[in-house]
Chain A
């Protein structure tokens, strides 16, 4: 089973909102100094699932990212977790130009990597929160997509059966391979890189591809980011004071009754 996992490096989503700033002029999010960017969480779930499939069925797991120089660290982490190979697409002309171009770039890179059975991607990135790229990659590759996948019931050479979360339940979907799955966080708990993996990552050679390597000439974005800004929020909470937590619980009930809420 040959699997490609798409990966994005993102600012750490656990940074509390008041610890980072928005550079409105350059339309960028600036994290606090010293906090390293991370592998997008859902992409880590996608990689974990790929590694589990390979451990059972053999094959190869290749990770690919489109990102600036620093994104190399995230590819190294993927290798440390157990990926067999990594590809870094890095070209100033391709960066920050929206999901549509990103998807065409990733699809071209996946095709250049070689034949694949599965593409696993996170269901959305925690910085842009768009949830578009993976579906657009599937469109560009001309393969079916299932997203968001909360459980992978089975995979064989021809097909996979996945659970897709819908609004008040789930669908069990059978999909013919090759296919793309958009992975959600219920699927698994990503592993920590073992020591052996960290050493392998140190030695790994990661090829860097440009727009030219991938024959990408149409660079037109389809969506324009006009503005990025933050709104501040003032707390207005009325805290219930009491001698004990239990008494606070009782008082809260009375308060809710007074306010006409129960």
Chain B
């Protein structure tokens, strides 16, 4: 048996956007290897995605429905995916580089005695190996890495691979897995979704306004939020800001935060450290406002203002209000 197996996720009844990216790239890899594209999906209420998976090119799906109470623990999800991989014996496993995927991928690799490369931005097939391009050292250096055994486990960076275009195809054939409640040591007591106070979700937003340490303090943060509100955009932040607690960690953009791909990304008081810009490589237009003309963020920007945000941003916000009313 062989195949390229993607670990699919569904949110409120639909496939996650990251899953469509896994399917798009997975199909390309599967075609190059001459193998089928298959999937595993584990969670609460994951039945009913066979048609959508089929349209995305998936032929077979291993399905583990969590029937127990509460949120499935990461251990249960890992057990389900390990069971699917042991049955399917795929040559490649693709997982999204999400919070869940970051824990799942090494756990899986260890349990099937293989290797793993995380946070890939490009894949290329050579013979039976997948050559993985992975940024290292914050993103200022690129590496090419290869998993030497099968399955080759790889996590894919969000917004770096073209999503599968749904096409009329047969529904994926589903194979049910029985996964007992993990007897392990983890219990998810609760899961708190930090919906942004208003406006769209960071990951999907067309406009993102992000602030950095240059804002000077939590008391100035409203300037970022006001500009985002005027543009109907989401609020982002550098790690300096989330570490300082001016806003919750789920707003962090970058290597260890969210990957965003808006049409417009406005960076205010952000220096543009490689780890931050790692999260915005998919942004189509970057605007930088920074008082330091040498700041690295200008290297990534289409438009820039060298100046103090305290003068620049209120005038920008005011003018945009006029233009948009």
Contacts and interface: CB of A to CB of B under 8 A. Distances in A.
A35 interface: no
Interface in B121-143: 131, 134-143
B194 A168 contact: yes
Nearest to A249: B315
A161 B102 CA distance: 20
B242 A262 contact: no
Contacts of A235: 298-299
Interface of A: 11, 13-14, 16-17, 22, 29, 98-100, 123-124, 126-132, 135-136, 139-140, 143-148, 150, 161, 164-177, 179, 184-186, 221-231, 233-240, 244-250, 252-257, 259, 261-262
Contacts of B106: 99, 131-132, 135-136, 139
B239 A237 contact: no
B98 interface: yes
B287 A245 contact: no
Contact of A147 (B102, B137, B147, B318): B102
Contacts of B189: 161, 171-174
Contact of A167 (B75, B98, B275): B98
B169 interface: no
Contacts of B316: 249-250, 252-253
Nearest to B73: A173
A222 B148 contact: yes
B249 interface: yes
Interface string B22-49: 0000000000000000000000000000
Nearest to A231: B142
Contacts of B285: 259, 261
B264 A262 contact: yes
Contacts of A148: 99, 102, 256
Interface centre among B102, B207, B245 (most CB of A within 10 A): B102
Interface string B225-266: 000000100000001001101000110000110100001100
B251 to A, nearest CB: 10
24 contacts: A124-B256, A129-B139, A131-B106, A132-B118, A143-B185, A168-B201, A169-B191, A169-B193, A170-B250, A171-B189, A172-B188, A172-B191, A179-B185, A221-B148, A222-B115, A223-B148, A235-B298, A237-B304, A245-B305, A246-B315, A250-B316, A252-B303, A256-B264, A259-B302
A240 B314 contact: no
Interface string B139-158: 11111111111000000000
Contacts of A150: 249
* Majority secondary structure of chain B interface residues (helix, strand, loop or mixed): mixed
Contacts of B312: 245-246, 248-249, 252
B59 interface: no
Given A135-B107, A233-B299, A245-B312, A250 B116 contact: no
Contacts of B176: none
B190 interface: yes
A129 B119 contact: yes
Given A165-B249, A168-B201, A249-B307, 11 more contacts: A130-B117, A135-B106, A145-B103, A150-B249, A172-B189, A172-B190, A222-B109, A222-B149, A226-B144, A230-B141, A249-B313
Contacts of B301: 237
Given A184-B256, A222-B115, A261-B263, A239 B138 contact: no
A150 B135 CA distance: 24
Contacts of B118: 129-132
B160 interface: no
Given A168-B194, A186-B243, A223-B117, A228 B140 contact: no
Nearest to B102: A131
Interface in B284-317: 285, 287-289, 296, 298-308, 311-317
Interface string B44-78: 00000000000000000000000000010111000
Contact of A246 (B185, B194, B249, B314): B314
Given A171-B191, A172-B192, A223-B148, A249 B186 contact: no
Contacts of B305: 239-240, 245, 248-249, 252
Contacts of A186: 242-243, 245, 249
Contacts of A227: 143-144
Nearest to A179: B185
Nearest to B116: A132
